[in-house]
Amino acid sequence: MSAAPQKAKPGAEAIAVTVSAVVPLNDLVTRFEFKRSDGEAFPTFSGGAHTVITMNDDGRTRLNPYSLMSDPADTSTYAISVRREDKGRGGSLFMHTRVKVGDEMTLTYPVNLFSLDLRARKHLFFAGGIGITPFMSMIAQLERMNGNWELHYSVRSEALGTYVDELKYKFPNKVHVYYDDQSQSIPLEHLLDGQPLGTNAYVCGPKGMIDWVHATASAAGWPDAQVHSEEFLKPEPGKEFEVRLCKSDKTITVGENESLLEAIERAGVAAPFLCRGGACGQCETDVVKADGEFIHRDHWLDDDQHASGEKIMPCVSRFLGSLELDR
Amino acid sequence: MTIQFNEETFRDDYSFYNSDWAIKRFPFPFHEDSYMYAVNMEQHRGGPEGSVYEKRFDVDEHYVSEMRDRAMVLADDPLRCQSLPHMTLAGWDLLELIMVSKSEDYPDLFELNRDGNQWRWINKPLGIDDSFTFLDETTLPYGPMEYITRQAQGDFCVLDQRDEMLWMDAGMVTTQADWSLDFDIGMNFFEWHAPVPLAHEMGIFKRALKFLLNIQQGAPARRLNWTMTVNPLLDTSPENYHKWGIQKTTLTPENIGSKQHLRVELQTFFRLPRSNALVFPIRCYLCSFQDLMTMPKWGRRLHRVVRDLPEELATYKGFIDNRPMMLDYLSKFDDGLPTSPGVFPDFETEPPLQTTT
């Protein structure tokens, strides 16, 4: 134990897995199930945790985070559900079109940035579309603990209602589904009013929905600490830009369709990360010099830090111009 | 490996002792000839064979006696063990972590048989053989955290993680360096560290918190901390300060070698799977000055560290009054020779003490 403080390792610990099932759920969403390749049991996890899956897309490494949506107590199988994004950067398309039963892949150990507040007397869930996934594992966990929960789930149509049938069958009195194409919407103000003291609210879905729940709860007098949300940002494509990595003495070009973090990794530079979605803070990087304009997209740095130009989150943020980083 | 457990006490007649084996593997905390705060974290993934870093939860010759001492402390003051209602799940996580680790790391001492949620736990050194239902509190004589930490050396803080913050919401604390669980229960990370001098200004706690919030399943971490204790007392609590504080005045140049102990904490950190809480075991090791001096490198280095320590730290660690007497003693073991880097004693390679006549 003589070592100096160690630098954060890139990513959580990895687990080699074999794809055990590929189950299309509807036109957009497919569930992927995994067994450990070494035959051992998976670590159990807490509801709301995610894993980062490594895809080998013809030599290009893609790392995407997905919520674990299997029962946390089931250590034989992990499952994720992936929505196909036809206009995305290709990770979900790769999962939908290329991944087959028997494929060898790598998952990380579970990481939870969206955990249940176990003090809560009641858990009030708001899901939009594929945002249902973290609630699947939370519900499984709470059912084992006799937890008090209620789900309000907004979907586009009956045909795209991922897990609606299963949820309504198992929990007819706790699950409430709202169909966009039938002009139904979550009666949020009404639901936030009159909940028992000690209720915690959780929202996962599109950014607009998350903002709506936070703003409505805040206006209704809910403490911020009792309203939880998770939104994985995806790195957005953007104009190519050049970055000087000072510590590694390398100059890299970030392509239109890759993130700054991916470009750093492609150059063989080990950079810390966990969620790859702008939420966990692990990849925070110091800016040495910046000549141009930041495109900050993360949820980690605050407005002052964004304005300071001293930090950047390379998993989701970009730059227009030339940039020097302490990496 | 079979451990010979010591018959010893940590109170009254203080019959505690370290065998040669225990001295050699003592976690000497100084990797260089000076000391200043640092977050100094490293991964907790084993270490040199036989060292205290090798296993997830080190078991040594003091195990049985330490557990007896813990039971006495709890009988006098049950508030040393507390768990807020939402922390029960974390208690089960901890029970599982310790039972699995110990049964795998010390199969000759501990056995765990699991059939679904029907578990049987055998602790041979303490003569325990219990069958119970995992996640069913009614099947254990204590809550899960108390049950297992009555069978594990060191203190345990179980920290809830909410709002980018850690909260001291459960713990078993009977071998502490002068802090109180009953006082700190429910506090957040900055609140319970408020009394520590200098480190706040240095930004140590902000960095440490950030590191701890990001400790993930499957990737535990560890660090060392240290202080000084007169007599081999495990329970140096604020609650009992009136009993042990006065003992600091009993030090004399004649008895300092045997009475003065370096107290080292091996602190480890594990993310707990079901609760997403963080457990922070704090394992206390004691070694008398005279035993430490059997390792020439440690003798040279301890003198230099104690001599050069900033006054605030010597005050906070509670030995500012005794420092001159310590230095008189320790200086006899410092011949000015350089020391090798790192914490290990390097007994084979470090030159013996050069005595001037």
Q: Report whether pLDDT(B215) > 70.
A: yes
pLDDT at position A2 is 41
**Domains of chain A by start residue, with CATH:** 14-108 (2.40.30.10), 122-230 (3.40.50.80), 241-325 (3.10.20.30)
The Cα–Cα gap between B120 and B115 comes to 9
pLDDT at position A90 is 85
Q: How far apart are the first and last CA of chain A?
A: 26
Burial of A75 (0-12, 13-18, 19+ CB in 10 A): middle
Comparing A179-188, B89-98, B170-179, B194-203, the range with the smallest average pLDDT is B194-203
B25 lies within 8 A of chain A by CB = no
User: Which residues of A fall within a CB distance of 8 Å from B85?
Assistant: 119
Q: What pLDDT band is residue A52 in, cutting at 50, 70 and 90?
A: very high
> Which of A155 and A194 is assigned the larger pLDDT?
A155
Q: What percent of chain B has pLDDT over 70?
A: 99
* Of B354, B208, B177, nearest in space to B278 by CA: B208
pLDDT at position B84 is 97
Q: Report whether pLDDT(B208) > 90.
A: no
pLDDT at position A9 is 56
Q: Report whether pLDDT(B207) > 60.
A: yes
pLDDT at position B39 is 67
What would the DSSP string read from start to end of A271-288? --BSSSSSSS-TT-EEEE
B140: DSSP letter: S
Contact B160, B86 (CB under 8 A): yes
Sign of torsion over alpha carbons B228, B231, B233, B239: negative
Q: How far apart are the first and last CA of chain B?
A: 44
The Cα–Cα gap between B158 and B272 comes to 9
pLDDT at position B38 is 72
Query: E strands, chain B, where?
Result: 42-43, 81-83, 110-115, 118-123, 128-133, 155-162, 165-172, 221-230, 260-271, 278-288
pLDDT at position A298 is 87
pLDDT at position A5 is 35
Q: What pLDDT band is residue A6 in, cutting at 50, 70 and 90?
A: very low
Q: Report whether pLDDT(B131) > 90.
A: yes
- Mean model confidence pLDDT for chain B: 94
DSSP, collapsed to helix, strand or coil, labels residue B167 as strand
Contact A156, A180 (CB under 8 A): yes
Q: What pLDDT band is residue A275 in, cutting at 50, 70 and 90?
A: confident
Comparing A277-291, B8-22, B57-71, the range with the smallest average pLDDT is A277-291
* Of B266, B267, B221, B271, nearest in space to B41 by CA: B221
pLDDT at position A221 is 95
pLDDT at position A1 is 44
DSSP strand pairing (A78-83 vs A29-36): antiparallel
pLDDT in tens, A205-241: 999 999 999 999 999 999 999 999 987 777 788 899 9
The Cα–Cα gap between B295 and B23 comes to 9
User: Which residues of B fall within a CB distance of 8 Å from A145?
Assistant: 89
pLDDT at position B280 is 96
Q: What pLDDT band is residue A3 in, cutting at 50, 70 and 90?
A: very low
Contact B196, B317 (CB under 8 A): no
User: Which residues of A fall within a CB distance of 8 Å from B89?
Assistant: 118, 145
pLDDT at position B356 is 64
Q: Report whether pLDDT(B146) > 90.
A: yes
Comparing A23-32, A50-59, B100-109, B120-129, the range with the smallest average pLDDT is A50-59
Q: What percent of chain A has pLDDT over 70?
A: 97
Contact A94, A7 (CB under 8 A): no
The Cα–Cα gap between B119 and B136 comes to 11
Nearest residue of B to residue A226 by CA position? B163
Q: What percent of chain A has pLDDT over 90?
A: 77
B38 lies within 8 A of chain A by CB = yes
B275: DSSP letter: T
Residue to mutate among A38, A51, A71, A118, with most B CBs inside 10 A, is: A118
User: Which residues of A fall within a CB distance of 8 Å from B224?
Assistant: 1
Over residues B300-316, mean pLDDT: 94
The Cα–Cα gap between B256 and B302 comes to 14
Q: Report whether pLDDT(A7) > 50.
A: no
Residue A50 β-bridge partners: A67, A111
Which amino acid, residue B78?
P
CA distance A1 to chain B (A): 7
pLDDT in tens, B242-266: 999 999 999 999 999 999 999 999 9
- Assess whether B223 carries a catalytic annotation: yes
Pick from A6, A115, A119: CB nearest B42 = A6
pLDDT at position A10 is 67
Are A109 and B219 an interchain contact pair (Cβ–Cβ within 8 Å)? yes
Over residues A249-270, mean pLDDT: 91
pLDDT at position B195 is 84
Over residues A175-187, mean pLDDT: 97
Q: What pLDDT band is residue B98 in, cutting at 50, 70 and 90?
A: very high
Q: Report whether pLDDT(A106) > 70.
A: yes
pLDDT at position A136 is 98
Q: Where are the domains of chain B?
A: 20-331
A74: DSSP letter: -
> Which of A139 and B42 is assigned the larger pLDDT?
A139
Over residues B148-169, mean pLDDT: 96
